[in-house]
Structure 1
Amino acid sequence: MADHLPAAPWTRRADLARLVAALGADNIRWVGGAVRDTLLGVDVHDIDAATPLVPDEVIRRLEAAGLRHAPTGLAHGTITAILPAGTVEVTTLRRDVATDGRRATIAFANDWAEDAARRDFTINALYAHPETLEISDYFGGLADLAARRVRFIGLAEQRIAEDHLRILRYYRFQARFGADLDAAAERACAALAPTLKGLSRERVGWEVLALLALPDPAPTAARMHAAGVLPVVLPETHGTELAALAALVAAEQAAGAAPDPIRRLAALLPPVPALAETIAARLRLSKAQREGLTCLAARTPADADNPRILAYRTSVACARGRLLLAGADIAALDGWAVPELPLKGGEIVALTGAAGPAVARTLRAVEERWLAEGFPARERVLQILRDVHD
């Protein structure tokens, strides 16, 4: 693995050069995901920077350079520089003073290695000089990246004790970047799995969905279950559901369907809408995510009988998900938009003289015939109305 960062397009951004000039090249290093992903040839979306400057000084220098900023994490030393081509989180070097497994009390530092020592994995503790692109690697992260090995900095047990969420982060990073398993990390995650119970539901939910959004999380989910980690987070998941996730991933790949974490979460749960509601609340999912999960949980063996009627009654997204979960063909929904019944209740009143509840009954009867005939055009719908009314 090279000891210099390749000159990726983002490293040549003019607005980043302005940021570097404002803080001083010796006072800033690119760190974390942007460095790691560039070395792996992966597209970079978020850029983080570290600096020995304290937040007040960062703010002063940004303002002097006319750069917009926001104090997005001031208590933890983070100032977000708002640049034309995207934001950059600039965080003062830190060291942990105290940790309780959920949050850390930090103090600002001025030593790059000390800041690196508090990070989770060696591959996330790589720092790149903004001008020379030389990489500072304090814990063997370059070798681990070359070997596709996700390894904790220091003792895995100690790092997990500092922040229990690192158990889930380990599995997510291992699923994304890993090849060889790190035995020490695997043992520590299994031993400390019960500590996940003390974490906030939002943090757990975010990590679960982030893992499920990866290309193939099924082997990792199975390993998490065997280690006793998944039962703490999703006790509803057993062997049947793990097999369902693996089958779903295979169906998605065969159909060319993009990964969807909510659909995959549905695979890990028994198909019971009330249970889906409970789990959505437990993981603090958004309203849209909760509705999607509940719709997928209502799946039945009859879903594949008529995919377009299913999409009409639910949505194209839910119908596609339910078909994929059943291992059924989704081709009937490709490029298809759900039509609207070309008939309104007021027209029924005008054309038939019906009134009150009779209007709703007639509309439902017409709709059922319209669905059974494959969504015919308005002319046929009017004929159906005459047939129903007569």
Structure 2
Amino acid sequence: MTVLTGQDWLTASATRSVIAALEAAGGPGCARFVGGCVRNALMGKPIDDIDIATTLKPEETEKAIRAAGLKAVPTGIAHGTVTAVSERTPFEITTLRRDVTTDGRNATVAFTDDWAEDAARRDFRLNALYADGEGQVFDPTGKGVDDAAAGRIVFVGDPRTRIQEDYLRILRFFRFFAWYGRGEPDAVGLEACRDLASGMTRLSAERVSKELMKLLAAEDPRPAMSAMAVTGVLAQVLPEAGALDLFEAVVPLSADPVVRLMTLFAVDAEAMRGAAERLRFPNAARDRLVASAMAAPVVSLDMTDAQTRAAVYRHGGRAVADAVLRRFAGEPSRTAEATRLLAIAGDWTPPRLPVGGKDVARLGLMPGPETGRLLKVFEDGWIADDFPAEGHAERLAALISRRG
């Protein structure tokens, strides 16, 4: 018998209140912790969310939570999910389910009181683990506990069946391998992902991009990405991706998933923009990809401090830092240079242009296109001289006197 020990979340008063509320309505054993919290507890990983499975029907769950004086939010009532809020902590509670129909994207479910049926519809054996309020672990597949101990990502039952129920499970296979896997990926699961990769065209762009970004945020996603490339899954998701050499090199340098994503592309702002829009990446990620590509041509590890400040002024600190990291990944021995440039990009605040149209007018030039041209020439010289703090009026007067 496996029992969870030393888990503060399990004994916390907020958790105990929710379990007590459910058991008051459905009796002892009607509610068990499920999935990630059980898996991570067994693997010694941080617990982010606490999910609970119950034999209570959704309306019974909602009633039980409210009867205990807790907040109940019907977040997914059609699929059996109610969120309880106890001491400001959310607990997602879902009625045991079995799939009635699936189409590769969505499932029609029926509620059940059979824990084995609920486990059978889950994706991987180490996610089909349950624990009661005392921490006793239940392993309906008989392999989940062992998989968690060994770092194995293995589908529940037949991999092809699981994937054809929801093609997102292909990406989840690689994402979970990136976060929790050790050794080589499960060969049977890998073959199923390779053979069924074209089914991912049925998925929404948002679901795909979310999984991809989660994968890239793993401590070391390189083995998972390599397996995705070999199986053709990466080409299916991101056909713009080239060789993984730069990606492999950047992973130890940056934990930022956007930086890692950037290295999967050639330096091509429009290609990056097109991929980001197709996959519906968040606007902030899309804009970073494009800005890094725009900055890349002027960024090198040989830049002087003044040249770096000029690049930051024109392209922004974030874009320059991203472009520096890309260069650093290609020249990993140049730590000192990269560190210097990243410090400037991160710490230096570009000054505002110290002159404007009113300053030009005060020197006798009538407003018009010539004003804009003069200010552009002034700005270029000011940048080239590393943003001097004085002498602006004299410099501007000299430009005006030389015009024409």
Q: With structure 2 as the length reference, what TM-score do the two structures score? A: 0.88
Shift of 1:219: 2.9
- For the residue of structure 2 that corresponds to 1:98, the secondary structure is strand
CA contact (8 A) 1:307 1:333 kept: no
- For the residue of structure 2 that corresponds to 1:96, the secondary structure is strand
Aligned to 1:385: 396
CA contact (8 A) 1:345 1:360 kept: no
Aligned to 1:338: 349
What CA distance in whole angstroms lies between the structure 2 residues aligned with 1:360 and 1:350?
A: 12
What CA distance in whole angstroms lies between the structure 2 residues aligned with 1:309 and 1:45?
A: 42
Q: Does 1:237 align with 2:279?
A: no
What CA distance in whole angstroms lies between the structure 2 residues aligned with 1:44 and 1:373?
A: 53
- For the residue of structure 2 that corresponds to 1:298, the secondary structure is helix
Give the fraction of aligned pairs with identical amino acids, expressed as a percent.
41
| Bigger Rg, which one | 2
Q: Does 1:247 align with 2:249?
A: yes
Q: Does 1:3 align with 2:2?
A: yes
- For the residue of structure 1 that corresponds to 2:145, the secondary structure is helix
CA contact (8 A) 1:5 1:135 kept: yes
What CA distance in whole angstroms lies between the structure 1 residues aligned with 2:43 and 2:394?
A: 63
Aligned to 1:157: 160
Query: Are the structure 2 counterparts of residues 344 and 62 from structure 1 closer, same or farther at C-alpha, using a change threshold of 3 Å?
Result: farther
Aligned to 1:348: 359
Aligned to 1:185: 189
Aligned to 2:205: 201
Aligned to 2:112: 109
Query: Are the structure 2 counterparts of residues 361 and 333 from structure 1 closer, same or farther at C-alpha, using a change threshold of 3 Å?
Result: farther
What CA distance in whole angstroms lies between the structure 2 residues aligned with 1:218 and 1:384?
A: 53
What CA distance in whole angstroms lies between the structure 2 residues aligned with 1:23 and 1:344?
A: 68
Aligned to 1:273: 269
Aligned to 1:20: 19
Residue pairs, 1:267-306, within 5 angstroms: 267-304=263-300, 305=303, 306=307
Query: Are the structure 2 counterparts of residues 127 and 389 from structure 1 closer, same or farther at C-alpha, using a change threshold of 3 Å?
Result: same
Shift of 1:233: 0.8
TM-superposition CA deviations, 1:295-352 (whole Å, max 9, x none): 1233434312333322222222221111111117143342513222252425524652
Q: Which runs of 5+ in 1 are unaligned?
A: none
**Letter aligned with residue 295 of structure 1:** A
Aligned to 1:309: 310
What CA distance in whole angstroms lies between the structure 2 residues aligned with 1:381 and 1:143?
A: 72
CA contact (8 A) 2:125 2:156 kept: yes
CA contact (8 A) 1:52 1:93 kept: yes
- Please, which of 226, 232, 248 is the counterpart of residue 230 of structure 2? 226
TM-superposition CA deviations, 1:164-200 (whole Å, max 9, x none): 1111100011111111321111111111111111111
CA contact (8 A) 1:221 1:230 kept: yes
What CA distance in whole angstroms lies between the structure 2 residues aligned with 1:213 and 1:263?
A: 10
- For the residue of structure 1 that corresponds to 2:251, the secondary structure is helix
CA contact (8 A) 2:295 2:319 kept: no
What CA distance in whole angstroms lies between the structure 1 residues aligned with 2:397 and 2:359?
A: 10
TM-superposition CA deviations, 1:270-296 (whole Å, max 9, x none): 221111121111101122222112112
- For the residue of structure 1 that corresponds to 2:189, the secondary structure is helix
What CA distance in whole angstroms lies between the structure 2 residues aligned with 1:210 and 1:128?
A: 26
What CA distance in whole angstroms lies between the structure 1 residues aligned with 2:45 and 2:388?
A: 48
- For the residue of structure 1 that corresponds to 2:310, the secondary structure is helix
CA contact (8 A) 2:83 2:93 kept: yes
Q: Does 1:359 align with 2:371?
A: yes
TM-superposition CA deviations, 1:134-165 (whole Å, max 9, x none): 11112211111111111111111111111111
**Letter aligned with residue 12 of structure 1:** T
What CA distance in whole angstroms lies between the structure 1 residues aligned with 2:151 and 2:393?
A: 64
Query: Are the structure 2 counterparts of residues 64 and 330 from structure 1 closer, same or farther at C-alpha, using a change threshold of 3 Å?
Result: same
What CA distance in whole angstroms lies between the structure 2 residues aligned with 1:290 and 1:281?
A: 7
TM-superposition CA deviations, 1:188-236 (whole Å, max 9, x none): 1111111111111111111111111212223322221111111111112
Q: With structure 1 as the length reference, what TM-score do the two structures score? A: 0.91
**Letter aligned with residue 142 of structure 1:** V
Q: Which runs of 5+ in 2 are unaligned?
A: 329-336
CA contact (8 A) 1:211 1:217 kept: yes
Aligned to 1:324: 325
Residue pairs, 1:52-67, within 5 angstroms: 52-67=55-70
Q: Does 1:372 align with 2:371?
A: no
Query: Are the structure 2 counterparts of residues 357 and 22 from structure 1 closer, same or farther at C-alpha, using a change threshold of 3 Å?
Result: same
- For the residue of structure 2 that corresponds to 1:5, the secondary structure is coil
Shift of 1:382: 4.4
Aligned to 1:51: 54
**Which one is further off, 355-364 or 65-74?**
355-364
- For the residue of structure 2 that corresponds to 1:329, the secondary structure is helix
Aligned to 1:263: 259
